[in-house]
C-alpha cells in the first residue's frame, strides 16, 4: 500500500491474476484441451475477471459468515455460563450484576438495552420495572 492507504497493489494483483488466467485459457485452447470457440477465448478477457471477482467475493462472504457464526456461538456459550453461575449463587440482583449479566437480567423484565445506555441507567430501568412488578403482585 502507498502512504495514503491506497490499495493499488490489490488491483494490480487482480489484473495480473486475470491476465494469467486468460493466458492459460489461450494455451489450453491451442493444445486442444478446451472446447470453447476462439470468440469465447478472446471474450475471456472480459468474463475471466468477472469469474475471478465472483470467486473472491464468495470466499470473502464465506469467511464473514463463519466469523459471524463463531461469534454467535461464543456469545451463547458465555450466556449459558453466566446463567449457570447465577443459578448456583441464587437469585440475581441488579445491584450485583453488570455488563452482559445485566442485559440477561433485563430480558427477564422485557427490557432491552438502548444504544449508548450505561449499566447504571439500565440498572435503574430494571429496578423501576421490578418495583412495578412487585406492586402488581401485591394487588
- 139 pLDDT band, cuts 50/70/90, is very low
Instruction: Please determine, for residue 135, whether its predicted confidence score (pLDDT) is greater than 60.
Output: no
* Measured CA distances, 31 to 25, 40, 88, 137 (Å): 10, 16, 73, 85
* C-alpha cell, 9: 497493489
What does pLDDT average to over the chain? 81
pLDDT value of residue 138: 43
Q: Is the pTM of this model over 0.75?
A: no
Residue 124 shares a structural domain with residue 67? no
Question: Percent helix, strand, coil in the chain (nearest 5)?
Answer: 75, 0, 25
Q: Which residues contact 129 (CB under 8 A, 6 or more apart)?
A: 109, 110, 111
Residue 85 shares a structural domain with residue 130? no
Instruction: Please determine, for residue 13, whether its predicted confidence score (pLDDT) is greater than 50.
Output: yes
Residue 56 shares a structural domain with residue 107? no
Residue 60 shares a structural domain with residue 113? no
Residue 79 shares a structural domain with residue 17? yes
Residue 4 shares a structural domain with residue 46? yes
Instruction: Please determine, for residue 67, whether its predicted confidence score (pLDDT) is greater than 90.
Output: yes
Q: Ramachandran region of residue 110, left (φ > 0), alpha (ψ -120 to 50) or beta?
A: left
Residue 83 shares a structural domain with residue 108? no
Residue 75 shares a structural domain with residue 113? no
- What residue numbers bound the domain in which 116 lies? 91-139
pLDDT value of residue 133: 59
Residue 62 shares a structural domain with residue 125? no
Structurally, the chain folds into a number of domains equal to 2
**Is 119 in contact with 98 (CB distance < 8 Å)?**
yes
Q: Which of 90, 114, 130 finishes a domain? A: 90
DSSP 59: H
Residue 101 shares a structural domain with residue 48? no
pLDDT value of residue 14: 86
Residue 107 shares a structural domain with residue 124? yes
First to last CA, the chain: 69
Instruction: Please determine, for residue 1, whether its predicted confidence score (pLDDT) is greater than 70.
Output: no
* Measured CA distances, 128 to 63, 92, 105, 139 (Å): 43, 15, 13, 17
- 93 pLDDT band, cuts 50/70/90, is low
Amino acid at each position: 500500500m502507498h502512504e495514503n492507504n491506497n490499495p493499488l497493489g490489490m488491483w494490480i494483483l487482480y489484473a495480473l491474476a486475470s491476465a494469467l488466467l486468460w493466458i492459460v485459457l489461450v494455451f489450453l485452447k491451442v493444445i486442444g484441451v478446451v472446447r470453447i470457440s476462439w470468440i469465447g477465448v478472446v471474450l475471456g478477457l472480459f468474463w475471466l475477471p468477472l469469474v475471478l471477482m465472483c470467486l473472491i467475493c464468495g470466499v470473502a462472504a464465506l469467511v464473514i459468515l463463519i466469523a459471524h457464526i463463531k461469534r454467535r456461538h461464543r456469545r451463547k456459550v458465555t450466556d449459558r455460563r453466566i446463567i449457570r453461575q447465577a443459578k448456583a449463587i441464587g437469585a440475581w440482583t441488579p445491584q450485583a450484576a453488570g455488563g452482559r449479566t445485566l442485559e440477561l437480567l433485563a430480558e427477564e423484565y422485557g427490557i432491552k438495552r438502548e444504544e449508548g445506555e450505561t449499566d447504571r441507567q439500565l440498572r435503574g430501568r430494571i429496578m423501576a420495572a421490578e418495583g412495578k412488578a412487585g406492586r402488581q403482585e401485591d394487588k
